[in-house]
Structures are given as C-alpha cells and as structure tokens.
Amino acid sequence: MTFTRNWLDHAEGSVLVEYGRTRVLCAASVTEGVPRWRKGSGLGWVTAEYAMLPRATHTRGDRESVKGRVGGRTHEISRLIGRSLRAAIDLKALGENTIQLDCDVLQADGGTRTAAISGAYVALADAVDWLAKRGALAKDPAATLPHSVAAVSVGVIAGVPMLDLCYEEDVDAEVDMNVICTGTGDFVEVQGTAEHGVFDRARLDALLDLAVAGTAELARMQREARG
C-alpha cells in the first residue's frame, strides 16, 4: 500500500492510496462548527462518505447521483469509515469543528474499503496538523489524534486463512473479515461475515492473528508516509 500525500491542492488533508491496482483518493475537509444536533456540546465531529467512480470496476456501474439514491453498500462503508476514525480522535480536543472525509474509489481491484480507511487516517492526520497550525485545537496533534488507524481484509479462500493483499473483490471467500486496528495493535472494529457456511472460534482466532500482523505492517507504512 502506497500513500501519496497532498494529492489535492485545496483539501486540508489528502492522500492517494494505491493498493495493487486499487486507487482511492481520500480528502479531508475542515469546516468550523458542527451539525445542529451537536451544537453547544464542545465536541467536534468526524464523518465520511465513500463512493466509486462509475468505471472504477471491470464493468461500468450506474452513478448513484443519476439513480437518485445512495445504495446500501455505499451507506454501509461510509458509516464504517466514519466510525473508525471517530474512535481514533479525541473529539473534545477537536472542539466544535467538523472534519469530513471523502473516499472516492478511482479504480477498484479488491480491498477498496480497507484502502479507504487506511488512507482516510492519513488525510485526517494532515487535517489535524492543519488545525493545530491555526491554533484551533485544545491539545497538541498527537494528543488530539492519539491512535493511528489501519484496516485489512482477511479471509478464508479454499479453506486457507489469507491476508487479502490484493485480490479481486468477486473472489468467493468463505469468510470475509475486515479488521481495523490502531498502531499499537488494539481493535477499533472487527467485522467478520460468512456468506457461505460458518466459521468456528479457531478459525476466527487465526484470522485475527493474520489481521493484527497485517495492520501492524500498514501502521508502519503510514508512519513512513507521514514522515
């Protein structure tokens, strides 16, 4: 996974994540203030939107703007990204500011959601630095964003637990698990699904081991990218 920071000129934080042939553009936009339901709380807000360009995939998909509605998968991934990043940040230190993460898949070749989360963290960190430079935070950047966050997808393919480095999304995994960890190896989110059959505790443990190792490696790459 490679991270190209400052890929955009306007955004307060931005990174192009590449993971095999998958490319996701993550942008962090800072705005003063928070949504109405949060006003006066003294807390900030972090939220995310994920989307895919129509020709990111092998066959062109219809645009959700043209269809007039956001699909269930898009909603689900957007919410996952937002939740993960909120777990990493001290919303009190952020103060009543909002950071909106946009993760747009330019090309999809497996692992788009994990690339999006890992890249969104880097964009978020840059936006936090941007706020710190303006004196807008209650704590220093390291305390405002105490955890780094990286995601991997692990799965069981043909009976073998594997770290999903760069497989096609449509490979028929028996178990498919997204694991999001901090740079210190704690869990932020664990999502394991068996669309075909079920999995026992031993398998779950094996997958978690793989995932923890994988996210540690990504955390190292994120640190390098952030210099």
Interface residue list for its own copies (CB under 8 A)? 8-11, 14, 21, 25, 27, 29, 31, 49, 51, 53-58, 60, 63-76, 78-79, 83, 86-87, 100, 102, 104, 106-107, 109, 147, 177, 182, 185-201, 204, 208, 212
* CA dist list (Å): 136 to 6, 84, 204, 214: 21, 23, 43, 34
* CA dist list (Å): 25 to 16, 142, 171, 222: 5, 24, 24, 15
- Is 69 among the annotated ligand-binding positions? no
Element (DSSP H or E) covering residue 152: strand 149-157
Q: For its own copies, which is the closer residue by CB, 97 or 182?
A: 182
Q: For its own copies, which is the closer residue by CB, 73 or 220?
A: 73
- Is 86 among the annotated ligand-binding positions? no
Q: Please tell me the distance from the alpha carbon of residue 144 to that of residue 92, in angstroms, as a whole number.
A: 8
Q: State in angstroms the smallest separation of the CB of 177 from its own copies.
A: 8
Q: State in angstroms the smallest separation of the CB of 183 from its own copies.
A: 11
Q: For its own copies, which is the closer residue by CB, 1 or 27?
A: 27
- Is 112 among the annotated ligand-binding positions? yes
- Is 113 among the annotated ligand-binding positions? yes
- Residue 65 main-chain phi, psi, to 5 deg: -65, -35
Q: Are 117 and 219 in contact (CB under 8 A)?
A: no
Positions at the binding site for phosphate: 73, 111-113
